[in-house]
Structure 1
Amino acid sequence: MRLILLGLLLIFFTTARSQKKSSQQDDWADQTVSFSDAIKAHLKKYNTQSDIVFEKGDIAKGQALFDSLVQNYLVGSRFNDFSLKSVNSGKIKLSKLKKPVFIITYASWCVMDRGEIAALNKLSRKYAKEVKFIVLFWDKKSEAKKFGRKFSGSIEVCYANESYRNDAKIVATLKHTLGFPTSYFLNSNLEVVDIKRGGIKVAPRTPYRESFTQNYNLFNERLTEFMVKKDLVHEQLAAAPDTD
């Protein structure tokens, strides 16, 4: 009888501990900082430091500062659940996509490299089942729609602009912080997996085929890394520290 009671007590305490740990993990996940809050908390210091190094012409140091900002403060934050306006299909709420998301921001006055759009089109077809591709133009709908015709049907072309009242939040959070072109890699829980700024620097007069290949290789490398890391961030955030 005593052994039975000891066994029951052991089961009770094991179950209670497991439930407590599960509750701690849920609380930990609920406390994940939003991307906009993370940006607000750390951007000023980053801008001050980067202005100094870029004035000195130290491009490598400037890139290192950006990477440090991303990896130490932005990765793992929860991207704001924006409703993006598509040039073709109304609004797209990010949380309803239920899959990893790749967002790249542009503007019509920011000239893209030769072969860059073609490279993105090919990659969007390659990763169509695994990743939702979104191109976000900081433009009015009419301008975004002109460029939207150049992109594959597997890429959702969206737009946002200061002149539209409801776009203030997304413009302030993305355009006026990290600039453009900037690539955002989000997992299916909208947690930031990585952020990359800029693209490849293709030399003037580079043949089209070579320019396309350089752009394709760059974005393919970034997407490959993203696919490898997309589940790791969520696992790390969900693993609450055991303080018992």
Structure 2
Amino acid sequence: MRKLLLVFLLLTGYISRPQAEKDDKVYFSEALAMHLPKYEKEARNAYRVNDYERGSALFDSLVKNSLRNSYIDNFRFYNLRKKPVQLYEFKKPVYLITYSSWCVQGKGEIPAINKLANKYKDQIDFVVLFWDKFSTVKDIAKKFNKYIKVVYVDERKNSDPFIIKNLKHSLGLPNYFLISGDKRIEDIRRSVFLPYNASEEKSYELNYELIEEGISNHLITHVHKEDIADISQ
């Protein structure tokens, strides 16, 4: 009877089992907390003397040495139906782009994103995050094709201080987050900034090349290169 009772208790969970090993993953928010203060101090010193090359090198070093291989937190956004959606709901590798309406996208940037989203729609989830109110985001979202998930966070409502602190106020914007299927950060990049007089064709080419290079090196293992097509209409 005692043996039968012991088996029953084990099967029903009334006797605690050995605790599972602690999750040893380092999350993005934790990596930021550890390394961001030093970066911000050094970056402020660089930009104060207009040393933009030094500032850019500091950002690259922060990403390479401290943020890569951390795991993105399960941040919550809102979709265009005003419904909450969490980052972990996207099961494919994620190409996450952070924007705002007051930070104008570069010429040719959105056509390049649209073209690549169409090309890799079966392998990657393209997500564009806007820091703005719903009405503004809904209007801007019309520029992106149907294969791009547009989400937003309205900072004025202050309902998501955790995501605002980590994804917006930490690294600025716009940024590209390259996230693997298991939600590990493969890379973080900034947008291409071109001279004001650069043509739309040139901007399109450079943006297309930058984004596809990130995809081929970090998010999928086999990419068949194609010639850059004409700008999408």
| Aligned-partner SS, 2:194 | coil
- Residue of structure 1 in register with 2:136 after alignment: 143
| Aligned-partner SS, 2:104 | coil
* Cα distance per residue 1:8-40 (max 9 Å; x no partner): xxxxxxxxxxxxxxxxxx847x11121111111
Q: Any residues of structure 2 matched to 1:195-214 within 5 Å, and which?
A: 195-197=188-190, 199-214=191-206
User: Does residue 56 of structure 2 align to residue 63 of structure 1?
Assistant: yes
Gaps of 5+ in 1: 1-25, 230-244
Verify the 8 A CA contact 2:76 2:85 in the aligned structure 1. Answer: yes
| Aligned-partner SS, 2:159 | helix
Task: Give the letter aligned to residue 112 of structure 1.
Answer: Q
- In the TM superposition, residue 159 of structure 1 has moved relative to its aligned partner by 0.6
| Aligned-partner SS, 1:108 | coil
- In the TM superposition, residue 128 of structure 1 has moved relative to its aligned partner by 0.9
- Residue of structure 2 in register with 1:9 after alignment: none
User: Does residue 87 of structure 2 align to residue 87 of structure 1?
Assistant: no
Tell me the TM-score normalised to structure 1 length.
Answer: 0.77
Identity %: 37
Task: Give the letter aligned to residue 85 of structure 1.
Answer: Y
Residue 128 (structure 1) aligned to one of 109, 121, 124: 121
- Residue of structure 1 in register with 2:26 after alignment: 33
Gaps of 5+ in 2: 1-19, 222-233
- In the TM superposition, residue 228 of structure 1 has moved relative to its aligned partner by 5.4
* Cα distance per residue 1:82-139 (max 9 Å; x no partner): 1221114733222222211111111101111111111100011111111110110110
- Residue of structure 1 in register with 2:4 after alignment: none
Task: Give the letter aligned to residue 86 of structure 1.
Answer: N
User: Does residue 129 of structure 2 align to residue 161 of structure 1?
Assistant: no
Task: Give the letter aligned to residue 211 of structure 1.
Answer: S
Tell me the TM-score normalised to structure 2 length.
Answer: 0.81
Equivalents in 2 of 1:161, 1:41: separation in Å? Answer: 27
User: Does residue 49 of structure 2 align to residue 73 of structure 1?
Assistant: no
Structure in which a larger fraction of residues adopt helix: 1
> What is the aligned residue count?
203
Cα gap change, 1:123 to 1:88, in 2 (>3 Å)? farther
Verify the 8 A CA contact 1:161 1:171 in the aligned structure 2. Answer: no
Verify the 8 A CA contact 1:105 1:181 in the aligned structure 2. Answer: yes
Q: Any residues of structure 2 matched to 1:39-58 within 5 Å, and which?
A: 39-58=32-51
* Cα distance per residue 1:163-218 (max 9 Å; x no partner): 22432111111111000001111111111111112x22222233322222222122
Verify the 8 A CA contact 2:76 2:163 in the aligned structure 1. Answer: no
Task: Give the letter aligned to residue 27 of structure 2.
Answer: S
